[in-house]
Amino acid sequence: MAQAETIAVIDFETSGMSPASGGRATEIAAVLVREGEIVGEYQSLMNAGVWVPPFIEQLTGISNAMLAKAPPAAVVMAEVDAFTRGCPLIAHNASFDRGFWQYELAQAGCMPDPAHEFACTVLLARRLYPEAPSCKLGALARHHQLPDMGRAHRALADAKTTAHLLLRMQADLLDRYRAELLGLPASHALLARLQRTAKTQLKRAVSEHVKQARQAQQLRLAQF
DNA sequence: TGCCAGGCCCTCTTTAGGGCCTT
């Protein structure tokens, strides 16, 4: 029997919009999701030696004084890298978090993990929930009446909210495409595929994903 | 508050432009 997949949902708080513009991470959280449940969480402030502008301080509640007492960014990234090792990743607007993830891991001297592929809940929400008023995390949480995880714009609260959104998406996919999935889970590979699929082609993409997954499974059995 | 950057989507498009989403 295949081992259940564990997906890591990550969220960064940062001092700016991108590493290229001088932004650095100030906090990270990772939430592990397996078989429809949250099974683990990691959260830490991190000191990257960066100054947080007042606007960001007000937005996140993370002050320069808090960062002065936080552990070094390299230590935190090594810990979260170990915590998520072997897990594919999910983030809300993954292009943002991917940039900081890759930059901060490189700064920390961590070896890239090939399992750390990203899927994005914004791209998925635009396809799965076109009726939602917005694809901002808070708007989607209200739209789906997800549990309140505390102050928004803190890494653990946002990562937990994104994790609950992921669970909702997986449940909706299983419900919506039950006939096509034939008992297969709404895996990270399926999510990554659907986030690039036109809204009108989702059903066909699910069927193609299942067909390829079955073929790969038969190939592995034949090799065994 | 709005801009900043980057990646992505949508359309009045594709030799482009505007909007969304993240801090």
Q: What pLDDT is attached to residue A3?
A: 77
Query: Looking at residue A125, which CATH number applies to its domain?
Result: 3.30.420.10
Q: What pLDDT is attached to residue A217?
A: 76
Condensed to tens digits (0 to 9), the pLDDT of residues A106-120 reads: 999 998 889 999 999
Tokens 């990550």 sit at which residue? A10
Residue A187 domain-assigned (yes or no): no
Which tokens in the block code for residue A139? Answer: 């708007």
Write the CB contacts of A183 (distance below 8 Å, at least 6 apart in sequence).
none
CA nearest to A159, candidates A15, A41, A16, A37: A41
Return the nearest residue to B20, CA–C1'.
A135
Residue A202 domain-assigned (yes or no): no
More confident residue, A196 or A46: A46
Condensed to tens digits (0 to 9), the pLDDT of residues A215-224 reads: 887 777 777 6
Q: Whole-model pTM above 0.85? A: yes
A44: pLDDT strictly greater than 80: yes
User: What single-letter amino acid sits at A26?
Assistant: T
* Nucleotides, chain B, CB distance < 7 Å: 1-10, 20-23
CA of A15 to C1' of B23 (A): 6
CA of A123 to C1' of B15 (A): 28
Q: Say how many C-beta atoms besides its own lie within 10 A of residue A63's C-beta.
A: 14
Condensed to tens digits (0 to 9), the pLDDT of residues A119-158 reads: 999 999 999 999 999 999 999 999 999 999 888 899 999 9
Which tokens in the block code for residue A41? Answer: 């969480």
Residue A192 domain-assigned (yes or no): no
Rg over alpha carbons for chain A, rounded to the nearest Å, is 18
- Collapsing DSSP states into helix, strand and coil, what is residue A117? coil
Dist. CA A44–CA A30, nearest whole Å: 9
Residue A110 domain-assigned (yes or no): yes
Condensed to tens digits (0 to 9), the pLDDT of residues A47-83 reads: 999 999 999 999 999 999 999 999 999 999 999 999 9
Q: What would the mean pLDDT of A189-203 be, rounded to a whole number? A: 91
CA of A1 to C1' of B8 (A): 37
| Count of the separate structural domains present in chain A | 1
Residue A172 domain-assigned (yes or no): yes
Residue A34 near residue A5 (C-beta atoms within 8 A): yes
CA of A155 to C1' of B23 (A): 11
- Domain residues for the domain of A94 are 6-178
Q: What would the mean pLDDT of A21-48 be, rounded to a whole number? A: 96
Q: Closest nucleotide to residue A162 (Cα to C1')? A: B22
Q: What pLDDT is attached to residue A80?
A: 96
CA nearest to A11, candidates A137, A147, A182: A137
Residue A209 domain-assigned (yes or no): no
Dist. CA A42–CA A31, nearest whole Å: 6
